[in-house]
Structure 1
Amino acid sequence: MDTIRTLADHSIRRVLSALALGIAVIMAVLAAEPPLAVQSGALLTAAVWLGLWGAALRVPHMDLRRTSLWRQLSVLAGEGAQRLRGVRGHRQLAAVLAERLMWHADRTALAALGLGSLALLLHGARLLHN
């Protein structure tokens, strides 16, 4: 199970890193207006959280053989991946993937909350300064 958990984390983090890069680029483009940049980052990060949460809810109903996690597991485990083909194996794999998606969703929600708090502080500071 540790191998599956590690591969699931790797697969999820690969997608999250691409999304984080996109959010960082958008925030950099808006850098002339820091409150707007941080607020945009918070909203986009919240959208990523919602996507992770939705993905975790869909996992039990997915054909996991079409996921990158399955491909990685097949390459790494070879014949060992064959025993995950049954209903019990599918449930185990789905449970691990859903748990890891929710773990990452929790961390993403904290990041969105932090960015949102920073955006409020920046907007408040701007109001006090004017």
Structure 2
Amino acid sequence: MYATKFPTLPEEKTLLTHGRLRSLNLSTNGLRAFDPPDFGRIESLDLSYNELSDWPRHLLDAQDLRVLNVSGNEFMDLPPDLLDGSHETLVAGMDLSDNEDLSLPSSERTGGPSRRW
């Protein structure tokens, strides 16, 4: 097994935008940034155990995204629109565990369905 470390992903703009890629695993790559302008038709994205602290701006526009693993990063908060009720499928398939400084709204910490955060 090879371990590759990319502080930023080269050509991230074209990686997802052509609509063919359905699953992408970029875990444990030392990424400090990942913010493509378009997520194409991606259904599963694993960005776990990188060094991400900024939520990708266009991630909530990814209509087909069902599974998102962002565990083990450096997120401190979530985008306000994530929990507005219009992203329930994504929220149900999301892993936010091991983001030690992440603060969640009090309603998400108590009650509701069991989630990995």
Name the structure with the higher strand share: 2
Report which structure shows greater RCO (CA 8 Å, sep ≥6).
1
* TM-score normalized with structure 2 length: 0.22
Structure with bigger gyration radius = 1
